[in-house]
Amino acid sequence: MKPEKKRKIIGHCFIDVFKSSIKTDQIKFLAQGTLYPDVIESVPMRGQPSVTIKTHHNVGGLPKELDLELVEPLKELFKDEVRAIGRELGLPEKFLRRHPFPGPGLAVRILGPVEEENLKILRDCDAIFMEELEKHHLYDQIWQAFAVLLPVHTVGVQGDFRTYEKVVALRAVTSEDGMTANWYPFTPEVLAQISRRITNEVQGVNRVVYDITSKPPGTIEWE
């Protein structure tokens, strides 16, 4: 399935789940944390020419049948500006420094079927990645970090057995506003530790690779 088709399916699912969750006519507004990069990548703003890079489920308005007013107070701000506002409001630094997470969720980090087994593998790999970043005091130096499950298998040797298992790619970038980004230069020792833990602790993975592509030419997310 092509990434854009997957994103649109997830967007429709988002609306369907939201509609089924509304149990009262007391709800009049829907607040979303849409940021300016979401808008830039999805649709032109204020009539300016723009190319759609990828569709964001939270851009483009709401179906009329929802009869809700959309509130997006941050949609003309970049994340660094939002964080500055958060500090002025006195929000905890832990919240402000949290890495971005894609609206479509882990589905865009699974390059293949979005199945329960694949979701578990990806969650386990991502948890190890975050634990190691925290352990080495690297989390706050990185704009965004995550694992991606690739739709390929490779031959490996684990214990005394030959394996044919999945491949996980690690992605970590530095950025100011998310519009451009550089890959983070981990030390070999840190990468080795993360790879060793993933292949030893996550059943179904026998190979780990690291993405050294900046934005551009690549986007931060893989889909």
| pLDDT number for residue 30 | 84
Rounded to 5°, angle at Cα 197 from 192 and 203: 130
Q: What is the mean pLDDT of residues 156-178?
A: 93
Q: What is the mean pLDDT of residues 181-208?
A: 97
* Mean per-residue pLDDT over the chain, rounded: 87
Q: pLDDT tens digits, residue range 35-55? A: 888 777 665 545 554 455 455
Is the pLDDT reported for residue 74 higher than 80?
A: yes
| pLDDT number for residue 152 | 94
Q: pLDDT tens digits, residue range 88-135? A: 999 999 889 899 898 888 999 999 889 999 999 999 999 999 999 999
Q: How confident is the model at residue 182 (pLDDT cuts 50, 70, 90)?
A: very high
Is the pLDDT reported for residue 172 higher than 90?
A: yes
Of all residues in the chain, the percent with pLDDT exceeding 90 is 55
Q: What is the mean pLDDT of residues 1-22?
A: 81
Contact predicate 165/153, CB 8 Å:
yes
| pLDDT number for residue 166 | 97
> What distances in angstroms separate CA 31 from CA 34, 71, 75, 197, one per listed residue?
9, 5, 11, 39
| Residue owning tokens 């905890």 | 92
pTM of the model as a whole: 0.80
Q: What distance in Å separates the CA atoms of residue 52 and residue 50, rounded to the nearest whole number?
A: 7
Is the N-terminal amide bond of 63 cis, ω within 30° of 0?
Answer: no
Is the pLDDT reported for residue 153 higher than 60?
A: yes
